[in-house]
Structure 1
Amino acid sequence: MTSATGNEAAPLSQCSAGSHAGWAGALGRPVVRTLWAARELIAFVLITLGVLWTKGTRAPAWIRRQVGHQIVRAGVLLMPLFLFLSVALGFLVIGQTVSWLSRVGAMEYLGPVMVLVIVRELGPLLTALVLLARVCTPMVVELGTARALGEVEALEALGIDPVHYMVVPRVVGLSLAVLALTVYLILGSIAAGYLWAFLQDVPLTPGEYLRQLAGALSWVDFAVLTLKTLGFGAVLAAVTCFHGLARPLRLDGVAPATMRTVGQGLVACILLDALFLLVYLVGS
């Protein structure tokens, strides 16, 4: 009886151990893949920074021309879209905020609320997400196709560094484009917000409106806005170029690379935003 009981208990314990191992494997594999992808992306970013530092002064006229092309592509061509977004953001956020603060008699909080919601958080993050969808997805298709067709290997055969030729102009151009479009979006939202408040007969003069906004701003807000937007642009460009160039792709691998770019770019921007928020809270 004792022997039979022991033989029955052994398979049960083995099944339990196998079940735990299966769950551990199912949970561990995505974590390992995520850490490995983060390691490869960080290595690609370090390589890009090294090329920018060592070869940044090579072919300056050509680099400026390519950076200008990326600014036009990622910034100037998107200004009509961001005009619409700024009007919508001003109506939906600032206009309603002004209206409700006026109703409860708390207009003195208008400036801090606008700075917190629009300048520090919503403006930069919305700009980065729009560029991720509008600019980075076609860019990774372009780079992935070039890699699949052997254009990267052709550049290397000619003695041209693909990172210096393809990555550096996109990193610089996209960073400057995110900064410029964020400022454009914030200014348009502020103007549209006051227009919405005016249409609702809120007793607020333009001078008082701007005075409250200026009183709530500090040099820290300008510094954080500049660093955050430049960081968003650099991160998006690095993720895009990594998935377009760093891996050997075939044409049928371009679409999955685009999906990975969107997902990882979104996560990277949110994590970077959380890092800036943490630094700001610790510093204050």
Structure 2
Amino acid sequence: MEQGTANLPELSQRRTVLWRAPMPPSFASFIGRKLLRFIVTVQGLGAFALITLGVMVTKFGAASRVIHPLVRAHLSRSGVRLLPMVMFVSVALGLVVIGQTVSLLQRANTTQFLGTVMVTVVVRELGPLLTALIVLSRTGTANVIELGTARALGEVEGLEALGIDPVHYLVVPRVIGMALGIFSLTVYLILGALLSGYLWAFLQDVPLRPGDYFAQLAHSLRALDFIALALKTSLFGIIIATVTCYHGLAQPLRLEEVSGATIRAVGQSVILCMLLDALFIVVYLVA
């Protein structure tokens, strides 16, 4: 067993003790305990992320006949299986954005900015974020439940007894598959939203020709948009996979504690994704 994975229970035991402690009598103690819990959680997530990164680097290409099929399986679960839901959301997103902006742009006689609005709202913000939340709600929660149940039933220790690194076998395929899955789904969602957006605009008799609409889209897109889109969606996948795998593996769980770990993983994943999105907004403003 890897030395890094052996330290996971020690990190999680301190975190579990803090969560099971009774409510402090004073508000100051309550705030202090919350702050200490946050620090311990950040330390645990950081250590787990570094362990995962180390395993990915040191064991790159190792056991490829086993790991590559697992990566494809998790890519299918985080991407292909969610494609119908993502396409439905993309059509709804195009309807919502167009429905809220067309009337305003027509009043100001500025329908020539319709493509710019779609790029700003869909490509840069809502597209990647909505896709990440969809994958989190379906695949991220499944990660916590599967890994937490395996940890509670002793299956993870069984892998270690067989000489199999749990991080390499259970975590790395999920991280790679989810990063690629969110990126791919985001591309489909953006394309669907842009096309459905023009369809809804056409149904509302907006005087905008298809050539003008797509010219606006091409004029509004920059090279930074494509780079930021790939980087943001990949980081969303890495964050969600790391947080959900951490809560499923890094602490000794009983079966009745799996649901609580799932709730914590979802909440922390949403917060981290929002913080990352805010960071990219700052980058857009500076650039």
TM-score by length of 2: 0.89
Q: Of 58, 63, 68, which aligns to 1:64?
A: 68
SS for the counterpart of 1:58 is: coil
Deviation of 1:107 (Å): 2.3
**Letter in structure 2 aligned against 1:50:** G
How far apart are the structure 1 equivalents of 2:179 and 2:98? 27
**TM-score, structure 1 length as denominator?**
0.90
Unaligned runs of at least 5 residues, structure 1: 1-20
Secondary structure of 1:202's aligned partner? coil
Aligned twin of 1:11: none
Which residue number corresponds to residue 253 of structure 2?
249
- Within 5 Å, give how 1:88-167 maps onto structure 2: 88-167=92-171
How is 1:73-84 mapped onto 2 (pairs within 5 angstroms)?
Answer: 73-84=77-88
CA-to-aligned-CA distance 1:224-252 (integer Å, 9 cap, x gap) = 00000000000000001000001111111
Deviation at 1:99, TM superposition (A): 4.3
Question: Conserved in 1, the CA contact under 8 Å of 2:74 and 2:177?
Answer: yes
Secondary structure of the residue aligned to 1:201 is coil
Using the TM superposition, give the Cα deviation of residue 100 of structure 1 relative to its aligned residue in structure 2, in angstroms: 3.0
C-alpha distance in 2 between matches for 1:279 and 1:141: 35
* Contact kept? 1:94, 1:190, Cα under 8 Å: no
8 A Cα contact 2:147 2:245, kept in partner? yes
Q: Secondary structure at the match of 2:205?
A: coil
How big is the shift at 1:103?
3.4
Partner AA of 1:244 in structure 2: G
Which residue number corresponds to residue 13 of structure 2?
A: none
Aligned match of 1:193 in 176, 197, 200?
A: 197
Amino acid in structure 1 at the alignment position of 2:184: A
CA contact (8 A) 1:119 1:186 kept: yes
Would you say the 8 A contact 1:82–1:181 is kept in 2?
A: yes
Contact 1:148 1:250 in 2 (8 A): yes
Structure 2 partner of 1:17: none
Tell me which amino acid in the other structure corresponds to 2:63.
Answer: A
**2:186 aligned residue:** 182
- 1:187 Cα deviation after fit: 0.3
The one of 242, 262, 276 aligned to 1:272: 276
Kindly provide the amino acid, as one letter, of the partner of residue 220 in structure 1: L
Q: CA offset at residue 62 of structure 1? A: 2.1
Q: How many residues align?
A: 263
Q: Residue 29 of structure 1: which of 16, 24, 33 is its match? A: 33
| Aligned counterparts of 1:264 and 1:249: Cα–Cα separation in 2 | 18
- Counterpart-to-counterpart distance in 1, 2:229 and 2:116: 15
Structure 2 equivalent of residue 214 of structure 1: 218
The structure having more radius of gyration, on CA atoms, is 1
Equivalent position of 2:174 in the other structure: 170
Note if contact 2:79-2:184 (Cα within 8 Å) is conserved in structure 1.
yes
Structure 1 distance, partners of 2:204, 2:47, is 53
- Counterpart in the other structure of 1:87: 91
